[in-house]
Amino acid sequence: HPMAGLNKIMVIGNLGGHPEMRYTPNGTPVTSFSVAVNRSYTRQDGERVEETEWFRVSAWRQLAEQANQYLAKGRLAYVEGRLRSRSFQGNDGQTRFVNEIDANQIVFLDRTGDRQSEDGFGGAREYEPAGAGASADDLPF
């Protein structure tokens, strides 16, 4: 048997805006939002540099409904899925490229107060770290 391909991406970041939910022509719900992933490092000259990478995320069906219900701008989330690259024509006629994550799992990483889901998204339980920030060691995978 030929080896199966693998396309998997995992990001942790803060939502850049409120999720937007819409329906495809056949009635399938899809929720889109953007996630900002921050990275900081020190250059050789000692200067501290902050970089932000933006990802578009699409969640479908039940996951779309849950993302729309529980996520909000600024929330910290773990998103796992398949990376999809696509291009489109901008209003200025230029071709634009976007990297988009087709999510199959979304996990809240910050405290939600009373707004808690029963068991998280995409078959995963909701995860709440004990401390204020989550380290890689805290993640449920």
Could you tell me which residues come within 8 angstroms of residue 76 by beta carbon, excluding any fewer than 6 positions away?
12, 13, 14, 108, 109, 110, 134
- Residues 57-72: pLDDT tens digits? 999 999 999 999 999 9
pTM of the model: 0.70
Spatial separation of the C-alpha atoms in residues 105 and 7, rounded to whole Å:
14
Spatial separation of the C-alpha atoms in residues 54 and 56, rounded to whole Å:
7
β pairing state of 48-60 and 95-108: parallel
What pLDDT score does 19 carry? 96
Q: What mean pLDDT, rounded, does the chain reach?
A: 82
- Residues 87-111: pLDDT tens digits? 888 899 999 888 899 999 999 888 6
Query: Mean pLDDT throughout 8-21?
Result: 96
What pLDDT score does 65 carry? 95
pLDDT at 32 exceeding the cut of 70: yes
